[in-house]
Structure 1
């Protein structure tokens, strides 16, 4: 249909958690953003970097929540995941700015969320 569109509002993040994460390019971006002490970029460039990292952080958070919810309630990893997710929500609620600091904060958040996701998806050794 021409001239029409459907707006999808996924309040529970069900679509995001089912999409595969394209991790490699974001890890390169995170490394580049954190390695630069004070790159000479325009504010709009920092805003774009922070925006990209924000979107990816939200996608990772959806995966963290999905894996956390699949764990038994007495699994300590789910409690830690909840703490990380609350911190991520607080950090994502801060408005974007066109600064290196903002982009670096979003990069650190992406790194922390991937660390948590890796913990949740790691196979635990079986008890003897």
Structure 2
């Protein structure tokens, strides 16, 4: 057996775009972190590691949210609100991580907010698609 590994270079995120979010594990971690009533007594390195995991989760959900937003027309209010949420997300994710309960819980709240927005946007996209009648092959659109 060999101890070699292959380094994946995917600067455009094409592979990530094809993989579904591991929503269940993300939500379990968020729920556990938000259930802390006070400091659970972990080491700073543990808090930092959890914050890193939640940061990765937030980036993955934000990527899916950006993909979903492009399926809506520009004039939809849901699109403007989602743009604001994504701007706030980017600002919050660029803040340095702290090895603290507050930092970890802040990242968990961010992941939860992003999932809530993704669900609402997905629902809005589905309603919009149901409202627009399908076109027949060869149709050129409304005349």
Counterpart of 1:29 in structure 2 is: 29
Q: TM-score, normalised by structure 2?
A: 0.78
Three-state SS of the structure 1 residue aligned to 2:104 is: helix
Q: TM-score, normalised by structure 1?
A: 0.87
Matches within 5 A, 1:14-93: 14-36=14-36, 37-93=38-94
Q: How much has 1:70 moved relative to structure 2? A: 1.4
Structure 1: runs of 5 or more not aligned = none
Report the Cα distance in structure 1 between the residues aligned to 2:4 and 2:16, rounded to whole angstroms. 26
Q: How much has 1:14 moved relative to structure 2? A: 4.3
Does the aligned pair in 2 maintain the 1:16–1:62 contact within 8 Å?
Answer: no
Change (3 A) 1:62 1:46: same
CA RMSD of aligned residues (A): 2.1
Larger radius of gyration: 2
Change (3 A) 1:83 1:44: same
Q: How much has 1:30 moved relative to structure 2? A: 0.5
Change (3 A) 1:17 1:78: farther
Counterpart of 2:122 in structure 1 is: 121
Change (3 A) 1:117 1:3: same
Three-state SS of the structure 2 residue aligned to 1:124 is: helix
Report the Cα distance in structure 1 between the residues aligned to 2:56 and 2:117, rounded to whole angstroms. 17
Q: How much has 1:6 moved relative to structure 2? A: 5.2
Q: How many pairs does the alignment contain?
A: 125
- Runs of 4+ that moved beyond 2 A: 2-11, 13-18, 123-127
